[in-house]
Amino acid sequence: MPKTSARLLALLSLLQTRRDWPGALLAERLDISLRTVRRDVDRLRELGYPIAAAKGPEGGYRLAAGTDLPPLLFDDEQAIALTVALQVAATTPGSGHAESAAQALRTIHQVMPARLRNRIDTLRVTAVERPTTQPAATVGGDVLLALSAAAQAHEILRFDYGTEDLDRPPRRVEPHHVITWDGRWYLVAFDLDRQDWRIYRADRITLRTPNGPRFSPRQLPGGDVATFVTGRFRGSTDTTGGWPCTGTVILDLNAAALAPYIRDGVLEELSPGRCRLTLGSWSWTSLAAAIARFDADTTVVGPPELTHAFEHLARRCAGTTGPTTQGEHDESGPSSSS
């Protein structure tokens, strides 16, 4: 049986890999008894890990959300990915998260094992923003969370906008989507007083609390957020952005992490770790390749041509091989045909 400290780390690592773990399966994976599993779970709870127990014939455990963020375990590749994301956030002007990202980066660096720290120290990533005449607009993470939460809960928002006279009544809107366009965050909402759809810059919003009552979501003009937003920003009904091929996918990525890399597309946050992206390109295959570069699980929303392009790209990549030497070619002999 492994030592208690090593066993606790192994148990914590398993609990982070899936939502629910039957007690018997944990005992089998760790090669310990069910009684030892229960004792180790109690030890982790004492260390601040909120582990919920499920009742039933088999029982089970789940790493739940708590009031504080407990220490987490990352494998080497996860630690490297996290470091890259934090370096991008820490060096992105006007992101609103640069200082917090830099602090998180220092914290993670301090607790990394030496073998991994040496690899990370050779990695230097700097985000370079596209030159613009517009100053960068900073949006606090708390504002984005509040806007997104209200949109998900279908709660009416009240807020002051920009430099409007504070004596004026606040805006009352039904929030529908939080998006990013050309490096800025926006709220897509239905304005109840103007009875029209509007797009508000998030950095100009000053929220008032509490939120209003719940509402039944309306149908966006054009049918989806990408069609509506591209039409409004481009001042026309052309939703392709000038590209002959435009498609929509769902990516298993945080919208905030992806936002700095999206300039000519529409990015919509669906939930933490999940977003919808509409992008254009000169061909379906190039569009599939542009989306594949984000290295995330992808679901194609449409059109079918984009799905076919991913299939074509997969076949082409699977058939890619290195150069063959002359000797190897001679040994294999000429191909025969019938």
18-27, 52-61, 172-181: the lowest-pLDDT one? 52-61
Q: How confident is the model at residue 234 (pLDDT cuts 50, 70, 90)?
A: low
Q: Does the pLDDT value for residue 336 go beyond 60?
A: no
* pLDDT range class, residue 172, cuts 50, 70, 90: very high
User: Are residues 177 and 223 in contact, defined by beta-carbon separation less than 8 angstroms?
Assistant: no
Sequence-separated (6 or more) residues with CB below 8 Å from residue 19: 62
Give yes or no for residue 271 having a pLDDT over 70.
Answer: yes
pLDDT in tens, 40-56: 888 888 877 788 887 76
pLDDT in tens, 81-91: 777 777 777 76
pLDDT of residue 236: 41
Domain ranges of the chain: 4-63, 76-121, 141-218, 229-318
264 compared with 149, residue with greater pLDDT: 149
pLDDT, one tens digit per residue, over 276-308 is 888 888 778 888 988 998 888 999 998 889 999
**Fold for domain 141-218?**
SH3 type barrels. (2.30.30)
Q: Which residue has the higher pLDDT, 190 or 222?
A: 190
Write the pLDDT tens digit of every residue in 250-262.
999 888 778 877 7
Q: Higher confidence at residue 202 or residue 107?
A: 202
Q: Is the pLDDT of residue 228 over 60?
A: yes
**The two three-digit tokens of residue 89, written as one number:** 């956030």
| Residue 233 predicted with pLDDT over 80 | no
Closest by CA position to 151, among listed 65, 211, 96: 211
Confidence category of residue 192, pLDDT binned at 50, 70, 90 = very high
Percent of the chain whose pLDDT exceeds 70: 76
What pLDDT was estimated at residue 128? Answer: 54
pLDDT at 237: 38
- CATH class of domain segment(s) 4-63: mainly alpha
Is residue 156 a contact partner of residue 211, using CB atoms and an 8 Å limit? yes
List % helix, strand, coil for the chain (3-state, nearest 5).
40, 20, 40
Give the chain's mean pLDDT: 77
Give me the pLDDT at residue 154, please. 92
Task: Give, in order, the Cα–Cα distances in Å from 298 to each of 198, 247, 289, 307.
Answer: 30, 12, 12, 11
What pLDDT shows up at residue 302? 86
pLDDT at 190: 92
Q: State the pLDDT at residue 168.
A: 76
> How does residue 72 score in pLDDT terms, banded at 50, 70 and 90?
low
* pLDDT per residue as tens digits for the range 87-137: 777 766 555 667 777 777 777 776 677 777 777 776 665 555 555 445 556
Contacts 24+ apart (CB under 8 A), 166-173: 169/193, 170/208, 171/200, 172/212, 173/198, 173/200
pLDDT at 332: 40
Domain 229-318 architecture: 2-Layer Sandwich (3.30)
Q: What is the mean pLDDT of residues 200-224?
A: 87
Q: What is the DSSP string of 43-65?
A: HHHHTT--EEEE-SSS-EEEE--
